Structure formats: structure tokens, C-alpha cells
Amino acid sequence: MNAISNAAIESAALRSDRFRLEREADWQRLENIVVRMEKGRLRGISDEDLLALPGLYRTVASSLSIARETSLDAATLGYLESLVQRAWFVVYGPRSSLWEWLRGFLGGGWSRAVRGIGFEIGIALLVMVAGAVVGWLLVSHDPEWYFALMGREMAGERVPGASADALRGTIFGNTEKTGMSIFAAQLFSNNAQVSILAFALGFALGIPSLLLLVHNLAGLGAMGWVYWKAGLLLDFAGWISIHGTTELFAILLSGAAGLHVGRAIAFPGNRPVLTATAEAGRRAAVVMVGVVLMLVVAALLEGFARQLVDQTPARLAVGGFMLLAWSAYFFAYRGRAGR
């Protein structure tokens, strides 16, 4: 039994050595090129090596495939997997630096992606407005709906029947409040979860994304009714607008991005479903990267500006400015990448 095992081991070792010897020259040549490129020594690479690079990458990738199929030794497999991975980044990896990518993203790439989902943005906007109206009407008909939409813990002092002074105290007089940075981080985390969920649920044909938008905006509509009953609707609008025009815009884009992917799955048109979904997914991913940036801005506005700016006109001015700025960037600014 031991003799048979030793023979099998020797046979495998010989097979592995022979496999390596037959192809090792190409592996070493590719590795030398990759090492030079990783170190930025492009001038030391000959034209012949550069022209041979794609072919060498495919050759080594083929060697890796054969090695896996024939169960060669772990050391050879590990070496080939590492070399193929490094070569992939050299051959097919991104060519631009982080600064160049950021310049292209903010210089028109992001706004172009947002305009590409304009149809879904329109639908999501209608759904969000409808959700706010539904929340308002439900609570005005039966205040008990308020707690179904908001939750008693989240509502705090903002409940139906609360006095005007109590409600006014929730939106004014917080300039001395401490721990704003922690509060901003918590808000960012919560809003990021809502936005990511609205996007992720888009893969279920976009319907859950729309329902999530309705639910979130119904709560806002319900809260608006509470402040309206106390004669504080304009103050509430100012309180919510200073960060809400950015935050709600981000949630709107998240829901629209999810719906965009869901629509590509349900209605791919003349393209294969996978092709349509991949194209929509890439566009939606660009939108979502920007959404993260918007949520950071919204968290800073909510955690700092809303507490420090204690007058309704000033709050409305800040919120209105942010809304105009985002709208102008998305729909008026083309930039070099958007042409």
C-alpha cells in the first residue's frame, strides 16, 4: 500500500515538474513584465514585451486552468493564481489615478448617469409625493395611524395632540446641543441603510423600492400634519428642508436607481436580459456612489447646520440653495464627460 502511494506521489511530482518546465519560460517573462510595470519602470520594457503582454497573460491563464483540472501541486497553483491576478490588473485594470477618476466622476460622469435614469426619477418622485399625501390623509382621518407610520419611540414628543410650545421646542433652541458629530454619524448610518435598501430591492422588479419610498414619505407626511395642526407647518418645513432637500434627493436617486435595474430585468427590450441588466447596473452603480456623497453632505447639514441655524427663513434659504445646486448640477451642468 505504501509502495503504491509513494509511486503515485512520485508520478504527480514528475507530472508537475514537466508541466512547469514546458511553460516556465512564458511565466517568467510575464512575471518580469508585471514586476516592472508594478514598479512604474515602463521605460525598461521593450516594445516586443509590451506587444506580447496580452498573449502571455492568456497563456498563463490557460496554464492555470490546466493546472486546476489536473490537480497539480499546491505551490504551482498558488504561483499561477497570484501571477494571473497581478497580470489581470496590469492588462485590464484601471489606467486612471484616483484623482483622474474623481475629476471625471464629478466633471460630468455622475450627472450623466443621473440623467440616464430620468424616467425612473420621475416615477420615484411621484411615488414619494403620493406617499407623503397618503400619510397626511391617513393621520388626519385617524391619528392612531401616526404611530403605525412613525413608531412611538421615534416620534418622541412629536405626537398628535402635542402643544405648539412642545412641538416648537423640538425644532428651535438646539444651538447649544452637544454631541453633534455623533448625531451626524448616526443619521448618516440610518439614511445610508434606507438608501442602500431602496437600491438593493430594485432587483425584485423595483416594486419593493417603490413601497419603501411610500413608507418613508408617509411618515414625513404624517409628521407634517402634526405640525400643521399646531400652526407650525412653515417652521417644520424649514427645519426639515435644511438637510431634507439633500437627503430626500439622495433617497429619490437610490429608489430610482433600484427601479432602473428592475425595469431592465422586466423590460430588457431587444437586448438579452443579462446585457440590459449589466448596463443598467453599471449606470445605477455610478448614481449610488454619488448618493453616498450626498448622504455625507446631508448628515453634516442635519448634524450641524440645522442645529446652528435657528431661524426658519435662514433654514429655508439653505435648503432651497442646496436643492437648486443639486438640480443645476444634475440637469443643467454637462461637463466634459457629459457631452
| Three-state SS annotation for 218-238 | HHHHHHHHHHHHCCCHHHHHH
Residue with cell 457631452: 339
Residue 264 belongs to some domain of the structure: yes
Give just the sign of the alpha carbon dihedral 223, 224, 226, 231.
Answer: positive
C-alpha cell at 198: 431602496
| Spatial contact of 236 and 295, defined as CB atoms under 8 Å apart | no
Q: Of 93, 111, 134, at which residue does a domain stop?
A: 93
pLDDT at site 339? 47
Cβ atoms of 207 and 262 within 8 Å: the answer is yes
Instruction: Answer yes or no: do 24 and 45 share one domain.
Output: yes
The phi and psi torsions of 189 (rounded to 5 degrees) equal -60, -45
pLDDT, residue 78, reads 83
Structure confidence at residue 169 (pLDDT): 85
Domain of residue 42: give its range: 1-93
Global pTM reads 0.70
Comparing C-alpha atoms, which of 260, 253, 209, 281 is closest to residue 111?
253
pLDDT at residue 13, rounded to an integer: 64
Residue 84 lies inside a defined structural domain of this protein: yes
Residue where one domain finishes, among candidates 41, 60, 93:
93
Low-confidence ranges of the chain (pLDDT < 70): 1-15, 71-72, 93-97, 174-188, 190, 336-339
The verdict on residue 337 lying in a domain is: no
Q: How far apart are CA 149 and CA 223, in angstroms?
A: 9
Rounded to an integer, what distance in angstroms lies between the CA atom of residue 275 and that of residue 264?
A: 9
338 within domain boundaries: no
Amino acid identity for residue 240 in this structure: I
User: Would 319 be classed as within a structural domain?
Assistant: yes
101 Cβ contact list (under 8 Å, min separation 6): 94
Number of domains in the chain: 2
> If 0-12 CB within 10 Å is exposed, 13-18 middle and 19+ buried, where does residue 154 land?
exposed
Q: Do 275 and 163 belong to one domain? A: yes
- Residues 270/275/280/282 CA torsion (nearest 10 deg): -150
User: What's the Cα-to-Cα distance from 139 to each of 13, 142, 157, 217, 224, rounded to whole Å?
Assistant: 77, 5, 16, 13, 10
Dig out the grid coordinates for 293 from the structure: 456623497
Q: What is the pLDDT of residue 112?
A: 92
Shared domain check, 223 and 320: yes
Domain stop point among 41, 62, 93 = 93
State whether 79 and 150 are in the same domain.
no
Residues 245 and 170 placed together within one structural domain of the fold? yes
- Contacts of residue 281, defined as CB under 8 A and 6 or more positions apart, other chains included, come to 261, 264
Q: Is the dihedral of CA 105, 111, 112, 118 positive or negative?
A: positive
Q: 269 and 310 share a domain?
A: yes
Q: Are residues 108 and 89 in the same domain?
A: no
Predicted confidence at residue 1, as pLDDT, reads 47
